[in-house]
Every structure is written in C-alpha cells, then in structure tokens.
Amino acid sequence: MRILLADDERGIRLTLAEDLEDAGHEVVAVEDGELAIKELQKGHFDCMISDIVMPKVDGMSLLRFAREKVPDIVAIMITGNATTERAIEAMKLGAKDFVEKPFNNEKIVLLVSGYGDSQHTGRKYQKLVEEVKTEFKVSQMVGASPQMKRLYEDIRTVAESDFSVLIEGENGTGKEVIATTLHQLSARAKGPLIKVACHVSNPNLLEDELFGHEPGAFTGASSRRIGRFEQANGGTVYLDDIDDMPMDTQAKLLRVLQEREIERLGGDHPVKVDIRVIASTKVNLRERAREGKFREDLYHRINVIDLRVPPLREREGDIPVLTEHFLQRYAAGRSLSIEPDAMAALVRYRWPGNVRELQHAVQRAIAFGGAAGVLKKEHFLRDYSAAIPEGAQGPTPGDDRRSLRDVVVAAEKAHILNVLKLTSGRIEEAANILGISRKNLWEKRKQYGIED
C-alpha cells in the first residue's frame, strides 16, 4: 500500500515509517496537515495515518479533505487525548480506526495489513455489501417505526468501522441479529463471526471457552484447545450478555481489547489476535459500572459505539408488520388471515418478551388455527381471551399515582404469574410463551419473589 503518514512528533514519524516500510509498504511522512494536503494533491494514496492535533491543519480537517480527494482511502487516526465523541466524529468522517497514544507500532502495521486486503477487493466488496444490506433488511431486521429507522441508519454508519460496539436492549429484542448484521456489513465479512454466551455457572469454563488452553493446564487437559478469540482471528467476536461476565474474566478481556493478544490457559507466551469485539447487555451497564458490579474501564473500552434496541412496546406500528412477516415465514405457503379483534389485541399487548415472544405467538397461532385459515386472538396466547393483566389495561384510574416504572413492573409480574398458571408451572413451556430464556425467567421469578 502507498501510505501517507502525518504526525508532528518526529520520533513517531521516523519509527512508524520504518516499520511500515519493513512490512513492504511505501510511506511518505510529513510533519503537519498542510504538507499532507499538498501530498494528497500530488499523488494517490491507499492509506492515510494521521495525528489529530497538528499545526497549521488539524487531523479532522485533513481527514475531510482526504475523503473528498480519495473516497476509498483507508484513514487511521491517532491521538493522545481520546474521547468517545472524538472517535464517533472521526468515524462519521470516514476513519476506519482510532488509535490512542502511546501505541505499539506493530498494532498500526497489523491494522494496515488487514485493511490492505479489503482495498484490493474494490468494487467486488462494495457489491457484496449492497447484497448483504438488502438480504438482512428484508429477512432479518423487520420494522418501519421511526425508532427502527434510526437504528438502521446507525448500523449502516458504524458497520464498516472496526470500533467496538455495545448493543443495549431487553431480552428478545434482536441484539444477536444486529451483531450478525454489523459483522456481515463490515470489512471482516469474509472472516468468522464467533458468538459466546457470557452466562456460565463456572468462570473457569468461560475463560477456557474464550482463551483456550495448553496440554496439562488443568486436570483432563490432554491436548491444546484453541479458544474463541483465536477462532475469530480476522473476524468478529460477539459477547452475548457481557453483563454476566465474572470480574476476573473482565480484567482479561480488557487486556485483549488493549493489546489485541491473548494467553491460553497454561500458556507462557502471548498470541496476537486480529478481532473486532461486539458485546450486548440486557441491563444498564453504565449503572452496573457505577455500582461497582462491572469494571468501569472495560465499560468505556467496549462502549466506543453504543446501539440501543427499542423494546417492541416502543416501536409504533411495527407489531402488524412483524406479525405479517412471521406469518409469511411460518405459514408454509398457506393463505391465513387474522381477525381484526385479534390484531387489536396484539397491538394492545405489552410484549414483555419482545419480538421473540411475538414470533412464538405467531407460531402457536398457526399451529392452533392454521387448519381453519383464520387466526383468532385466543390462538396467539392462551391468556388472550382473558383480561389484560392488572397494570397493563390502558388508562389507569384517576387516583392511581404509581410511576410508569411501577405500572410496567406490575404488568410484567402479573403476566408471568398468569403464564406460569396456564402452563401448570412448566418452566420451559412458560419461557417459550413469554419469548425469553429459562435463565431469564428464573431471574425474573427471583426478582419478583415468585416461588415454585
């Protein structure tokens, strides 16, 4: 690659240029943004590495000029004063990566080498991106509400960067689908997407899953095991429910994010990994960090970009769209219709299990009412013919001074109790109806004091 390096620190210019040239690249190094613009005007560059704070012309202004001059240039920005706002600004201007000082030159060399492959694919890669965008918009991410349209736009904005992403949302909202979409729309689309559930009963099992082990690392470790981070090399790691990750494992994850290297259990030397990390949380992770239940330094590392997935109850107009989508997916070619009062009931319902619960409700309705060709409200959930649980009936009495949170909590608890009663306490069946995992149902029962 032909690389333009702009930094007012002489030491960085000399050593980084030398390391990049040793890796086979051609480097033009300048000391300020004004000289960098002159070089861009003189010739073509595949990549630009620029400090943000420089004399005459700063890095952000240089980035704007470079992207106008060479739209497909790979821009890597470096700074000694990193903030989330600055990282987002650089990304929106087209930067591929954002590196804090001090840094190891090897990290920059590895980044440049990785981006070199995507440069060579050119138009072929762009065609692939458009195909994947179309596929996922139609088959995975369904919804036309203003909230979802904003989310789609955010996903398109951040997908092609290499920044860490934190996806926030309740269970059943589709966080894993968004992680998959981010990977498929990124420059790492040809690499693996490795998914890891962070909720395990034994922290050692999670670390073995993530980092792997060497022979003899513990009893029964007779051979080497390659962990998930190594398996994801060149691709993406998705950490589902990172809020469940034990504190000791969080410390090791922080090192992975900082150094881009891991050590297998029982190993004595680091292994470099080229990965992007996407994590999801079902709780407010900022609050967890403030309470000391999650490492604050790790929170800031993974929360470079945050995407909030709205719960289904906040997605105005999406319930009929999603219902029709699932109906077409699972009807196996049959022509099925939904009674108007059934759709009205679906729209009124709170959907504590979100999209996953609606998906299961449609499947159940097809199973019970598909033969007749008309789906009624009692086909969707067993309790739809009954009154909506207390706290979710709609307008509350004039003297009801409960907070909105208290009303929502009361409705959720009432619905869980109702479903458990309908299923005679069968946890797996109740979880399926609610559209949540058995683990999540257990947590909610504990939270609301619901006994066996």
Query: Tell me, what CATH number does 414's domain have?
Result: 1.10.8.60
CATH number of the domain within which 22 lies: 3.40.50.2300
DSSP 274: -
The answer to whether position 257 is within a domain reads yes
Residues 41, 110, single domain; the answer is yes
Residues 351, 289, single domain; the answer is no
Q: How many angstroms separate the Cα of 184 from the Cα of each of 130, 175, 236?
A: 11, 14, 10
Q: Number of folded domains in the chain?
A: 3
Residues 157, 68, single domain; the answer is no
Q: Of 286, 307, 195, 276, nearest to 243 (Cα)?
A: 286
Residues 72, 33, single domain; the answer is yes
Residues 285, 161, single domain; the answer is yes
The answer to whether position 129 is within a domain reads no
Residues 257, 396, single domain; the answer is no
The answer to whether position 123 is within a domain reads no
Query: Residue range 89-94: average pLDDT?
Result: 80
Residues 72, 181, single domain; the answer is no
Q: Which domain holds residue 51?
A: 2-118
Predicted local confidence at residue 329, as pLDDT: 85
CB 33 within 8 A of CB 51: no
Residues 321, 229, single domain; the answer is no
Predicted local confidence at residue 196, as pLDDT: 93
Sign (positive/negative) of CA torsion 132, 133, 134, 139? Answer: positive
Residues 181, 293, single domain; the answer is yes
pLDDT at 144 over 80: no
The answer to whether position 132 is within a domain reads no
Tens-place pLDDT, residues 12-30: 889 999 999 988 889 999 9
Residues 287, 327, single domain; the answer is no
Q: Of 44, 106, 35, 109, nearest to 73 (Cα)?
A: 44
Q: What is the mean pLDDT of the chain?
A: 83
Strands (E), 105-155: none
pTM: 0.58
Query: Residue range 168-195: average pLDDT?
Result: 91
pLDDT at 125 over 50: no
CB 68 within 8 A of CB 93: no
Residues 276, 385, single domain; the answer is no
Query: Residue range 231-249: average pLDDT?
Result: 93
